[in-house]
């Protein structure tokens, strides 16, 4: 009987598992294209179009991430109830519609309302949705599967973000967002419908593994994972949201787009390189090294802010670990917690991290406006990264 079950598992994985990775990859392109890298594009475009302050637009982005954090904790339960296909397609549609509404915002309340709509889409298409969906198909090779799928986040940076910037320059923000939304949804829909078929019914659907959220919050292992993830993403999200605004005065619109694309390409190459060995590494030490490399990239940009070569190089060095920082927490959870608890632990860690980094865009925006430049904001990012390194290296 056990052999028959094992054969069924291998047959299901052979037929459906890798198409599911492709579907999650495409979903990540949409999620990070509109919901992550897109936020940097919106900040610069809305500031230029409406004359709004950096702090105001960044505060709306903070509202977006806060609402997303609350909804993200529910995503594993939604996938259990409705399945990954419906959750991801509905989420991608809502995210795209929210981006279209945001592009047409002409008053601050419209900006905040659009970001709240986008939050629902982001929560159901980003890392929590992807890791929990792939957990239905993968066990031993889950690290590789998640790493490959989340390369869609990197791909979004050198495809969707530069495309938006190019389209905005020629057609304006509203038309650019509509064109990108139509194209991406047209590609995503059939891939998700076909790629996320056949979710394994033999896998246990109960995801708590007897571990409650209160128990997790008392667990030192969980606190170090969640603390690392939150601090690292405060720096990462804050930096990326402000990256276009930081680089445009020195590199121009085209140069900023090229730098974002180069950083995103570096993120994909970094994740692909690490993906081949990621399941064999001491993942806490590797996570610390990844964040340290990002801090070095920001430090170079802080010391030599008027050197174009340094700005490009710093963005690329920072970008090389962007994808890995997103991937490591789920892999540490897989190694240190029971398999049945994976969904709940990852979902709660993602929710806590997003709640923390939700404040990063507004915090860096206020620091920029008060100082009249990005120097203190970059220093704040480095401080958060050093704290994240200390946190992840503290083993329970």
- Kindly tell me the sign of the dihedral angle through the C-alpha atoms of 69, 262, 192, 114: positive
With a CB cutoff of 8 Å and minimum separation 6, the contacts of 183 are none
pLDDT at 344 over 80: no
Range 115-118 contact pairs with CB under 8 angstroms and sequence separation of 24 or more: 115/60, 115/61, 115/63, 115/64, 115/67, 116/63, 116/64, 116/67, 118/34, 118/35, 118/64, 118/94
| pLDDT-based confidence at residue 22 (cuts at 50, 70, 90) | very high
More confident call, 158 vs 296: 296
More confident call, 5 vs 98: 98
Which tokens in the block code for residue 371?
């100082």
Share of the chain above pLDDT 90, in %: 31
Q: How far, in Å, CA of 115 to CA of 169, rounded?
A: 23
Q: Which pLDDT score is estimated for 257?
A: 81
| pLDDT-based confidence at residue 4 (cuts at 50, 70, 90) | very low
Q: Which pLDDT score is estimated for 202?
A: 45
Q: Which pLDDT score is estimated for 5?
A: 45
Is residue 131 within 8 A of residue 209, CB to CB? The reply is no
Helix runs in 304-358, H state only: 308-319, 322-336, 342-357
Three state DSSP letters for 9-68: HHHHHHHHHHHHHHHHHHHHHHHHHHHCHHHHHHHHHHHHHHCCCHHHHHHHHHHHHHHH
Distances in Å between the alpha carbon of 156 and those of 200, 263, 265?
29, 11, 9
More confident call, 321 vs 114: 114
pLDDT at 395 over 80: no
Mean pLDDT of the region 82-109: 94
pLDDT at 209 over 60: no
Distances in Å between the alpha carbon of 386 and those of 290, 295, 322, 392?
11, 8, 16, 10
The model's pTM: 0.74
Q: Average model confidence (pLDDT) for the chain? A: 84
pLDDT digits (tens, 9 = 90+) for 281-301: 788 888 899 999 999 999 999
More confident call, 150 vs 31: 31
Q: How far, in Å, CA of 108 to CA of 100, rounded?
A: 15
pLDDT digits (tens, 9 = 90+) for 247-273: 888 888 888 888 888 888 888 888 777
Q: Which pLDDT score is estimated for 14?
A: 54
Mean pLDDT of the region 375-389: 92
Is residue 146 within 8 A of residue 134, CB to CB? The reply is yes
| pLDDT-based confidence at residue 1 (cuts at 50, 70, 90) | very low
Question: Poorest-confidence range of 12-16, 74-78, 98-102?
Answer: 12-16
Share of the chain above pLDDT 70, in %: 90
pLDDT digits (tens, 9 = 90+) for 170-192: 898 899 999 999 999 999 999 99
pLDDT at 336 over 80: no
pLDDT at 208 over 50: no
């Amino acid at each position: 009987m056990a052999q028959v079950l094992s054969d069924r598992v291998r047959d299901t994985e052979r037929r459906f598992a890798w198409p599911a990775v492709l579907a999650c990859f495409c979903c990540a392109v949409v999620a990070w294209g509109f919901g992550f890298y897109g936020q940097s594009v919106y900040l610069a475009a809305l500031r230029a179009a409406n004359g709004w302050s950096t702090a105001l637009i960044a505060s709306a982005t903070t509202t977006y991430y806060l609402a997303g954090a609350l909804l993200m904790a529910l995503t594993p339960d939604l996938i259990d109830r409705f399945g990954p296909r419906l959750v991801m397609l509905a989420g991608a549609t809502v995210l795209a519609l929210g981006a279209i509404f945001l592009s047409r915002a002409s008053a601050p309340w419209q900006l905040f309302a659009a970001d709240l709509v986008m939050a629902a889409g982001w929560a159901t298409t980003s890392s929590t949705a992807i890791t929990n969906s792939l957990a239905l198909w993968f066990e031993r090779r889950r690290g590789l599967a998640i790493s490959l799928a989340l390369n869609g986040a990197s791909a979004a940076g050198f495809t969707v973000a530069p495309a938006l910037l190019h389209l905005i320059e020629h057609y304006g923000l509203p038309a650019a967002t509509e064109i990108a939304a139509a194209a991406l949804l047209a590609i995503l829909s059939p891939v998700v419908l076909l790629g996320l078929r056949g979710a394994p019914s033999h896998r246990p659907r109960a995801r708590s593994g007897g571990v409650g959220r209160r128990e997790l919050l008392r667990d030192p292992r969980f606190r170090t994972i969640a603390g690392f993830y939150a601090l690292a993403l405060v720096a990462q999200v804050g930096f990326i949201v402000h990256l276009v605004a930081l680089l445009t005065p020195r590199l121009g619109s085209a140069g900023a787009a090229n730098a974002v694309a180069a950083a995103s390409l570096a993120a994909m190459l970094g994740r692909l390189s690490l993906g081949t060995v990621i399941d064999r590494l001491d993942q806490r030490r590797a996570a610390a090294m990844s964040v340290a490399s990002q801090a070095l990239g920001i430090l170079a940009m802080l010391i030599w802010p008027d050197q174009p070569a340094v700005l490009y190089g710093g963005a690329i060095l920072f970008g090389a670990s962007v994808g890995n920082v997103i991937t490591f927490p789920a892999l540490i959870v897989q190694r240190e917690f029971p398999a049945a608890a994976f969904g709940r632990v990852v979902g709660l860690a993602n929710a806590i991290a997003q709640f923390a980094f939700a404040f990063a865009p507004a915090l860096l925006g206020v620091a920029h406006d008060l100082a009249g430049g990005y120097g203190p904001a970059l220093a704040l990012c480095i401080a958060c990264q050093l704290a994240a390194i200390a946190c992840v290296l503290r083993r329970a």
